[in-house]
Amino acid sequence: MREEIQIRPTTQGDVPGILELLGTVFHEDYPEEVRDWETGVLELDRSLVADDAGQVVGHIDAYTRDLTVPGAVVPAAHVSGVGVVPTHRRRGLLNRMMRRQLTEIADAGREPIAVLWASETSIYPRYGYGPASSRLAFTIMNREVRLTVPPAEPAGRLRMAEPTGLLADLTKVYEQLRPDRPGWSSRDDRWWRYVLTDLEAHRDGATKRYAVVHDGPDGPTGYALWRVKNGWNGHGPDCEVQVREVVATDPETYQALWRFLLSIDLCRSVTFRLGAVDEPLRYLVDEPRRLGPAVLDALWVRLVNVPAALAARRYAAPVDVVLEVTDPILERNTGRWRLTGGPDGAVCVPTTDPADVTCSVTDLGAVHLGGTPLSALVASGRVRLLTGNDPTVAFGWHRRPSSTEVF
């Protein structure tokens, strides 16, 4: 009888097999430069493999990073690299890896939430992940739009260079804004290297990546990262500006950066895949339809420790509510929890009081960043209000979540 496939911690010797698996699962070539780039952030002690007689046939890992939630920054397991080779699908390997990872995160007690980007959105609700934020993907006809706000007087200064040459400025701006941006992840030196490494394999025929920094009187106030894909047709130049990030500390900087990106010579379109749902650009142009916005899902959140996660974030309005939560994987989360708090802090403790709300741990993950309205889940029937104590307003937040990267 053949031995059951083993789920075990990763060793250094598994790394080539993991990279081969990821290339197969995500249908990508992994040349040596990509392999070095990927292994630069791999945390072996947080990685699991499915081992079939010495062959890596499944994998899942997590990165140790912080995540901004409404009003706070918390440790969060950043789950990635999830996959099973085609020959071993439908054997329960993904289920075993996901459940073991969640149990290990919960037992460690450091991270109250886990977060991921979903390759297929039907998979992860089964493991308690809820769609916590959305993004706007823009395909802009840049010759068809104009900013309706005149340039600031006096205008700031723009400096353009390769991103690594501007790292100190990028870091300063990013860290200034990160505590107030739900959905943003921490970036230590390792992660800045990961984000800014400009691999030929990732360019898809476009140029190297560029950075532009906007300076105000007291130093850098914003930056943008982009590259350009060359193109010509029967009408002449038809290049595409591919924007990676636009980060600005004030409206004047934001306007100046977009004015620059929309007016690069020879370019007839601008794409930006990671815009926030409330992206200010939509309200700055004279022809917003020419921005071509499309709403897509972004971060998915899983509450690993329900009381710790609910107590860690802040709330838009005072709240005192009893939640009856179900969690079929981490049963320690199942039960009734009294959440009290508001904009300045919160407490969540077990209770035997009658429930005001019934919901699943997936629903709590969906509303945790303030991006998915709790009222929408109530209207859909996923969440039930049992009394007149309605906490839907409290779970919102003054800033909609957004993400500046796909890890």
pLDDT single digits (tens) 92-108: 999 999 999 999 999 99
Which one of 63, 315, 395, 407 is the catalytic residue? Answer: 407
Q: Would you place residue 191 in the very low, low, confident or very high pLDDT band (cuts 50, 70, 90)?
A: very high
- The pLDDT, as a whole number, for residue 149 is 94
pLDDT single digits (tens) 264-303: 999 999 999 999 999 999 999 999 999 999 999 999 999 9
* pLDDT tops 80 at residue 321: yes
| Alpha carbon of residue 383 to chain centroid | 24
Does the annotation list 146 as a binding residue?
no
The verdict on whether 407 is a catalytic residue reads yes
The verdict on whether 124 is a catalytic residue reads yes
Distances (CA, A) of 403 to 204, 277, 292: 23, 10, 19
Q: Would you place residue 1 in the very low, low, confident or very high pLDDT band (cuts 50, 70, 90)?
A: very low
* pLDDT tops 60 at residue 24: yes
Q: What number of other Cβ atoms are within 10 A of residue 231's Cβ?
A: 15
* Average pLDDT in the chain: 96
Which one of 63, 124, 210, 272 is the catalytic residue? Answer: 124
Does the annotation list 170 as a binding residue?
no
Q: Would you place residue 2 in the very low, low, confident or very high pLDDT band (cuts 50, 70, 90)?
A: low
pLDDT single digits (tens) 357-376: 999 999 999 999 999 999 99
Helix axes 189-196, 167-177, angle to 10 degrees: 110
pLDDT single digits (tens) 56-95: 999 999 999 999 999 999 999 999 999 999 999 999 999 9
